[in-house]
Amino acid sequence: SLSIPKCRPLSPGEVLGCTAPTLTTHADAIVFVADGRFHLEAIMIANPTVPAYRYDPYSRLLTREQYDQAGMRAARRKAVESARGAQHWGVVLGTLGRQGNPALAATLTQHLQAAGARVTLFLVS
C-alpha cells in the first residue's frame, strides 16, 4: 500500500526543511522524488528508523540515502553549549511564503530580552 502523509499547513506529500511529517503508520520505506537532498533530510530526521530512497527525475537515478543522526545531535549539542553564555542573540524570521511565524519570533525575542539578552531581529527571504 502507498501512504502520502500531510503536515499542516502543507499539501499531502509536500515536505519543507522545517516541516516534515513523522509517519504515524508503519512504513517499509520512504521514496522521495527530488533533485536535491535538503528536504529529504528533514523527513529522514523525523523518521530515523525508516529507510529512505531518492529518485532524481533529471538523472533518472534511484539512490538509497543515509543521514548521520548521531553526528547531527552531537553538532546541535555543541552549538547549544557554545551559545549558553551569549549576551547578544540574533533571531531569524523567514519571510518566504508561509515559512515565517512573526508571533513566534516576537515571543522568542521577549523571552530573550526578559533574560537580559540583547536581540537583533533578521528578516530573511
> Structural domain boundaries of the chain?
1-83, 85-124
Of the candidates 89, 93, 91, the one whose C-alpha atom is nearest the C-alpha of residue 124 is 93
Q: How confident is the model at residue 91 (pLDDT cuts 50, 70, 90)?
A: very high
Residue type, 83: A
Residue type, 61: L
In CATH terms, the superfamily for domain 1-83 is Diphthamide synthesis DPH1/DPH2 domain 2 (3.40.50.11850)
pLDDT tens for each residue of 24-37:
778 899 999 988 88
pTM for this entry? 0.69
47's grid cell: 523518521
Mean pLDDT score across all residues of the chain? 89
Averaged pLDDT for residues 77-82: 96
Residue by residue, DSSP assigns 54-116 as EEETTTTEEEEE---HHHHHHHHHHHHHHHTT-SEEEEEEE-STT---HHHHHHHHHHHHHTT
